[in-house]
Amino acid sequence: MQLFRSARWLLLALLVCLLPASSYAGVFISVGFAPPVLPVYEPPICPAPNMIWTPGYWAYGPDGYYWVPGAWVPAPYEGALWTPGYWGWSGGLYVWHGGYWGPHVGYYGGVNYGFGYFGIGFAGGEWRGGAFAYNTAVVHVDNRYIHNTFEDRTVINRYTVENPRHVAFAGGPGGINHPPTAEERIAEHDQHMERTSFQTQHEAAARADRTSYAKVNGGHPQKLVATRPLAAENHPAPAGARAGANANVSRGGTNTGGRANYQAGHTNSSINYNASKSNTGNAPARTYNASHSNTVHTASRPETQARTAPQSRPASRPAPQSRPAPRPASHPASHPAPHPQEHPHR
């Protein structure tokens, strides 16, 4: 059995070497049995600007399927969006199609990973004016450092592929049935960039962790998300990439600070996030007040402005002439967001 397994992986390595460099987002591995269902979890809040959520997924190694925790990843270039990898049924096998960075979110099999990746495109935000704006109807953000937000709930139903059983693969018996849309086919022709070296290291760490394997955890991994964001790795934008292009999120909405938690076709109206553990689902959760999202807009006015209101006078006296109110003092500048590695994580 060990000899057969080694031979299979050697054959796979030779196949990868023969693939052209442009096909890194294509086929890498095929398995004869389906991956486990996607676990339900809550990601940590986004700690700093211009970070993109990369959902967790089942990868395959010498000892079977293992869980790669979801993680916040600094965008490698302005305008970069992440297309998750997915397992697809083909020729009686489950074939892995790797994720990639690009100016648009492409096809990922219709697999509903949640948290903005509801099966079609990405509903968690978009690039606006060189900075990433987060859709707070989908994504939790740290409002002390992130002020570029909006709220749009309409995209949730519009781009959701129902997946009540949390299936982790597309096509085949019991798989997701979602053919690519016209927009997803167009995105396939973009100039793509493979995952960063830190994403590769992140997957390698999960592969080396015995508790990540489904044969050990029964399909219920303990470490579901990375408690800290991955390190930044900057790259030039691919040739022809148009920054800020994301047709999957409307540009309307208001910054009301609303929150919702959606995962794999499953709706959960609670807004709890485990701030002290690695989201195993067993630790007590802490509720975040939705009003925090507007703290940047509710700063108290300077005292000089509060004194401009006229005091009440006896009715016998004529009403005083209106005077222009003095100009309020400028609001203190908001604190700049720290580098991801410097921000204290809860």
For residue 200, the model assigns a pLDDT of 97
Q: Write the CA distances from 79 to 52, 70, 75, 166, 290, integer angstroms.
A: 11, 21, 8, 30, 28
Q: 132 phi and psi, to 5 degrees?
A: -85, 125
Tokens 């204290």 locate to 344
What DSSP designation does 225 have?
B
What six digits make up the tokens of 9?
């992986």
Residues of the chain above pLDDT 90, percent: 56
Residue 312 has pLDDT above 90, yes or no: no
What DSSP designation does 276 have?
S
For residue 213, the model assigns a pLDDT of 97
Distance CA 7, CA 292 (A): 56
What six digits make up the tokens of 301?
């006015």
CB distance 153 to 186 below 8 Å: no
Decide: helix, strand or coil at residue 94: strand
Q: Write the CA distances from 220 to 32, 36, 214, 265, integer angstroms.
A: 21, 9, 7, 18
Residue 292 has pLDDT above 80, yes or no: no
Nearest to 132 by CA among 179, 216, 72, 203: 72
Q: pLDDT tens-digit profile of 128-172? A: 989 999 999 999 999 999 999 999 999 998 899 999 999 999 999
What six digits make up the tokens of 81?
């969006």
Residue 222 has pLDDT above 70, yes or no: yes
Q: pLDDT tens-digit profile of 236-279? A: 988 766 544 444 443 333 333 333 333 333 333 222 323 333 33
